[in-house]
Structure 1
């Protein structure tokens, strides 16, 4: 199965539609979705000699920001939209 990788140009195109003052975060682990603060952008080469850009999280304790907001996990198709269960009528003290 061949994977299509996002290029730096694709990333720039996506980011150009965003608010320039918005913080950049990384969504990680679709099975336990968490949000992480980005700290570095590193360019290197892969095992075939091609240039690759890595978006890296920081090392301090505040880098992992907590659970990914449900709205984001749903848009990434990592979680299905969840609705609260229907409310049942409350029972009265008399048991009815």
Structure 2
């Protein structure tokens, strides 16, 4: 089973609606969602001879920026929306 891959043209089209001055980050690891700073774009050739472009994170310790914002993880379907539990009435000091 092959998975469809996003092409450079499709990525450019997706990015064309974004703020051109916004930083680019990678969302990684759906089981422990983290945000990473994008550092490099590398073009290469895969084992079948097809040209492939890789987006890579940086090497320094500041590349991993921390946890992915929950709304991003939800938008990526990496986790479901979380709702606060229903509030119960507070008990008074007298135990009633």
TM-score normalized by the length of structure 2: 0.96
Distance 1:23 1:90 in 2: 45
- Residue 95 (structure 1) aligned with residue 79 (structure 2): no
Distance 1:42 1:94 in 2: 68
User: Deviations for 1:10-69, whole angstroms, at most 9, x for unmatched residues?
Assistant: 100101111100000000011111110000000011111111100000011111111111
Q: CA RMSD in A?
A: 0.7
TM-score normalized by the length of structure 1: 0.96
Instruction: Give unpaired runs (5+ residues) of structure 2.
Output: none
Distance 1:52 1:6 in 2: 10
Distance 1:28 1:70 in 2: 13
User: Deviations for 1:72-91, whole angstroms, at most 9, x for unmatched residues?
Assistant: 11111111000111111111
Distance 1:92 1:66 in 2: 40
Q: CA deviation at 1:9?
A: 0.5
Q: Secondary structure at the match of 1:42?
A: strand
